[in-house]
Amino acid sequence: MGLALLVFQFVAVTAFLTAVAAVVVIGPRRLRLLPAELRQRVRIVTPHLLLLAVVLGLNRIARRIGPEVSWIIGMNITQSIHAVEGEFVAALQSLASPPLTTYFSFMYLYGYAFLVVFPVFAYIALDDSEPLREITLAYSLNYGFGVVAYVVFIAYGPRNFIPDLVDPLLYTAYPQSQLLTREVNVNTNVFPSLHSSLSITVALLAWETRDVYRRWLPIAWPTAASVVVATMYLGIHWGIDVVGGAAMAVASVTLARRWVGQVPRPVKRILAIREKLPRTR
Amino acid sequence: MRDAGRRMFLKTAVGGALAGVSGCIQRARNLVGRPTATQVSLSIKTMPADDDPYAIRVAQRLANRLRRVGIDVDVIPMRTDELLRDLLIRQEFELYVAEHPGGTDAEFLFPLLHSRYSEESGWNNPFGYTDLTTDELLEVERVQTGERRRESIAELQRTIARKQPFAVIAFPDQIGAVRSGRLRSWADGGLYNPMEFFSIQRMEAEERSSRPSTLRVMVTDDRMTKNLNPLAVAFRSHGYVTGLLYDPLIRRHDASPIPWLAESITWSGEEIPAKEIATVSLREGARWHDGRPLTAADVTFTYRFLADTALGNGAVPVPAPRFQGSISLVEELEPIDDTALRFRFATPNRRTAMRALTVPILPEHEWEPRSHPAQFADQTLAGETTEALVANNMDPIGSGPFRFDRAIADETLVLGRFDEHFLNRGEPETGNWFAEDGFDRIVFRVVPSDAAAIELIAAGEGDVTGSPLSANAVPTIGREPDLRLTVDRSRAFYHLGFNIRTAPLSNPHFRRSIAQLIDKASLVDDVFQGYAMPAASPLAGTDWLPPDLEWRGRDPVLPFVDEDGEFDVARARAAFERAGYQYSDDGRLLSQ
């Protein structure tokens, strides 16, 4: 299977999961109202979406040049991580079985993508734009922290550092999946775990919106927990990466909550210019 | 009165204090030069599993043993080019586990071990090993012939096995996969030498039908997509990709020389002093990829340039580290006319001299401008380096059978056939097979892992692997009906390198004690899964190996310290004590 087909399959599965969840969680009533409201709602969160786009763009660039900069100024902390946590991931892998590997591989790839994508749609469908602004801000902060951490720290995951003890389960079971993950990950960027931080971010926000989306919480939490365990079970991340990811998630959500009402001045100015431009329909 | 008393008091106080201080200084001076003993602490630099399947496993096992004998150890995983930069350019390492490309002739040991190269970069004595006996043996070996040379080379191997500037671990097998049904006459060991690329042919069924035809090579090493400089030590291992782009005067395959840019070589030795002399005639009509003619001037330029890439304009010569040993074999080179040259070598051995003829010939018009000092470079220790050594050279102009087409960093490298190359013109001695049956393009595709490479080839998206696979891949290849396994013993060898410049690794007894912690036999069984040959000498597997250095179930010189196959900690610790080291009460090895 080529990369194009892999990407297609990945998008298709994620879209399917999102669609099913949309019906179950968002509900037909809100979905029916959504098209009419969509334009207005997106306009309100434009600054936040712009910020997210900028951070993701930076992240893309950083993935290319970050490792080069990292090797010059970064700290290689692989050995220190291993010294602190020892063989924890190996112990976790001692429970491995083919069905578990399939489950966690699915969660690591598709469960994660679904978990990160779905709440954006779910929160667009709300009258209150605050959760949407908060989640885009929180994602931006996560990626922002991540970019900095990946430049400052060079760390290889357990599969790369103690291959005698930890198997690269995802890549032995599904070799081609690495073609996909390589597009977004660099093998020296394991600390902190972005998979964990974004999953925990979603879980924290799911708690905040538990009253509007009662069915989201029981989906989000087990999925997030599975993704977090998967990162370690598959030999990709250390326990400490997950702890770092959790800290990043808490920091991102806390800051996002604090800043959610504010629009930074430069963004305001850009928006003001946009307002003055003639509308074309 | 009171004043006098006070003065008196002060005098005594100050005097007393001074006396006290001087007593302290006395004591302190006695203590100077006796630093408090701390635990011996070492780091092992190596590559992560993604970059090399074996090295980190070897390093981790050694680290465990070192910890058990009371040494504090850090294992530091590094990306291949970063590791090579630290080892071969910056000399920033204590221990490392990596592969040396090796060779069949003893000649490669000269730059690797001669003290003359201990401050140079590249695979030129990265250890900082300076030993008079070794130097002497290396020098006489170069000028001797026959049985006497053989004896010197045997003695050389014994010397380095005893003094351990590095510990040879094992020669791995090169494992590869080829998709059956598309290619014929590929080499048994896969594609790790340009000659193997030139001898690959398409199956007849396909020959007539499709033009242009593409050979798709799956590689796990992405360095070739970012750097194609034949002189860059951190980016070349075997250098087979730059070998496709740049032609040497002769190529060697299975140890036999094939005249390449040289159409013919006439050998005529000098008697006194015994020196080999070669008159080389270049192939007529040879051209660079940019269409300019390749002349004897380019050849003389290349040899001058490789010896000093600053072309005499630097404070000191800045040689090209990858070819320093080869270049040192050339004593004299003069052009006879536009297509002929005369070499005089520093050796009477033709086989050794031939090594000097295998360096890539560079176009003067491309490389002469690169002789200026480079900015932002870390290439040489003296702070002298040239653009030639640091350039990425991603628009290479060579004269090889393939020319650069395009590259995407970390993804692909595409080479196209160079129609004006003699292989494509049907010269008598090469036949016309290359033009008829060879491939028009070679696409190197970077894949994340061995498993991905195999899966892509099995799915028909690739033809052959171009980076050595790990032993783990063997059963997978066996399960795929369309794949053929290729296995050949490599001349490259894994070794533990020591930085001998600082204590405690400067102490040969200490290095020997460390070498005896390596259980080569079980590494070959467990880590290499049998696809390697344990060895005590870098020339193991060649006919230069003396019988007393042959592997006989265990290392003939520095056997693993074991008790019935189990690691014997007490005996290993005793070895360090005999070397003059002490243990603290809680079992830490203390620095002297």
From chain B, pick out residues whose CB is under 8 angstroms from the CB of A164. Answer: 57, 60-61, 527
What's the pLDDT score for residue B380?
A: 43
Would you place residue A15 in the very low, low, confident or very high pLDDT band (cuts 50, 70, 90)? very high
From chain B, pick out residues whose CB is under 8 angstroms from the CB of A68. Answer: none
Strands B566-567 and B41-46: unpaired
From chain A, pick out residues whose CB is under 8 angstroms from the CB of B77. Answer: 76, 78, 156, 160-161
Alpha carbons A210 and A216: distance in angstroms, whole number: 7
What's the pLDDT score for residue B379?
A: 45
Higher pLDDT, A28 or A112: A112
Alpha carbons B311 and B307: distance in angstroms, whole number: 8
* Chain A contact present for B49, CB below 8 A: yes
Residue in A159, A160, A178 nearest the CB of B452: A178
Q: How many CB atoms lie within 10 A of CB B67?
A: 11
DSSP labels, B20-61? HHHHHHHHHHHHTT-PPP-B-EEEEEE--TTT-TTHHHHHHH
For A167, name the nearest residue in chain B, comparing CA atoms only: B49
Q: With an 8 Å Cβ cutoff, are B77 and A161 in contact? A: yes
Lowest mean pLDDT among A22-31, A272-281, B538-547: A272-281
Alpha carbons B399 and B361: distance in angstroms, whole number: 8
Tokens 């063989």 sit on residue: A87
Alpha carbons A118 and A213: distance in angstroms, whole number: 12
Alpha carbons B187 and B487: distance in angstroms, whole number: 9
Distance from CA of B222 to the nearest CA of A (A): 13
What's the pLDDT score for residue B210?
A: 58
* Chain B contact present for A189, CB below 8 A: no
What's the pLDDT score for residue B126?
A: 94
Q: With an 8 Å Cβ cutoff, are B49 and A76 in contact? A: no
* Chain B contact present for A76, CB below 8 A: yes
From chain B, pick out residues whose CB is under 8 angstroms from the CB of A78. Answer: 75-77
Q: How far apart are the first and last CA of chain B?
A: 59
Q: With an 8 Å Cβ cutoff, are B452 and A176 in contact? A: yes
Tokens 């997950």 sit on residue: A242
DSSP labels, B123-181? SS-TT----HHHHHHHHHHHH--HHHHHHHHHHHHHHHHHH-SEEEEEEEEEEEEEETT
Alpha carbons B470 and B484: distance in angstroms, whole number: 15
Residue type, B471: A
What's the pLDDT score for residue B419?
A: 86
Alpha carbons B184 and B177: distance in angstroms, whole number: 13
Q: Count how many pairs of residues, chain A against chain B, have C-beta atoms within 8 Å.
A: 67
What's the pLDDT score for residue A32?
A: 86
What's the pLDDT score for residue A69?
A: 85
What's the pLDDT score for residue B433?
A: 44
What's the pLDDT score for residue B254?
A: 66
Contacts of A196 (CB under 8 A, 6+ apart): A227, A228, A231, A237, A241, A242, A245, A246, A249
Residues B77 and B56 sit within 8 Å (Cβ to Cβ):
yes
Higher pLDDT, B31 or A209: A209
* Chain A contact present for B265, CB below 8 A: no
Residues of chain B short of pLDDT 70, as ranges, are 1-36, 184-190, 201-212, 254-255, 272, 375-383, 426-437
Would you place residue A276 in the very low, low, confident or very high pLDDT band (cuts 50, 70, 90)? low
Residue in A2, A67, A161 nearest the CB of B461: A2
Is residue B334 classed as helix, strand or coil in its secondary structure?
strand
For A176, name the nearest residue in chain B, comparing CA atoms only: B452
**Could you report the per-residue pLDDT of B454-477, keeping only the tens digit for each?**
989 998 889 899 888 999 899 999
Please give the model's pTM, rounded to 2 decimal places. 0.87
Contacts of A8 (CB under 8 A, 6+ apart): none
Alpha carbons B219 and B192: distance in angstroms, whole number: 11
Distance from CA of B494 to the nearest CA of A (A): 18
What's the pLDDT score for residue B488?
A: 86
What's the pLDDT score for residue B432?
A: 42
Distance from CA of B389 to the nearest CA of A (A): 19
Q: With an 8 Å Cβ cutoff, are B74 and A156 in contact? A: no
What's the pLDDT score for residue B224?
A: 93
